[in-house]
Amino acid sequence: MASRLNPYISFDGTAREALEFYKDVFGGDLRLSTFGEYAPPDAPGGDKIMHGQLETPSGFTLMGADTPPGQSYNPGDNIAVSLSGDDAEELRGYWEKLSGAGTVAVPLEKQMWGDEFGMCVDRFGVTWMVNITAAA
């Protein structure tokens, strides 16, 4: 898989509804994972969306999630740019350049879902998420 760039939208508890709406608009395949799938069943917000991804017949990819419990939701600041794929060298290179003069919010490292993931804000204030798919 080549690396790809797409928008990632944060929602205030409405990610499932919004992503299902976008599926109705654009068509395609929608995959949703909840916070509860990766946490104890009684964890707060377990039914909320940790990650959603819509792949459309036109080649669009739209990702989104509910703002995690304990984090603030700020309309207008709720969109990030996601870089993802399995070319680890290429994606790490992007990460180094984007985070170099910026601020790292989540270090690029292996996550509970098996992929490497990191999040940073570049020197221009743009939020970037980098996900390197784990080798199968």
CATH fold for the domain made of 76-136 = 2,3-Dihydroxybiphenyl 1,2-Dioxygenase; domain 1 (3.10.180)
The pTM of the whole model exceeds 0.75: no
Condensed to tens digits (0 to 9), the pLDDT of residues 42-100 reads 778 888 999 999 999 988 899 999 998 788 888 778 889 999 999 999 899 999 999 99
Q: How far apart are CA 130 and CA 82, in angstroms?
A: 6
Condensed to tens digits (0 to 9), the pLDDT of residues 38-57 reads 877 677 888 899 999 999 99
Q: Domain locations in the chain? A: 11-69, 76-136
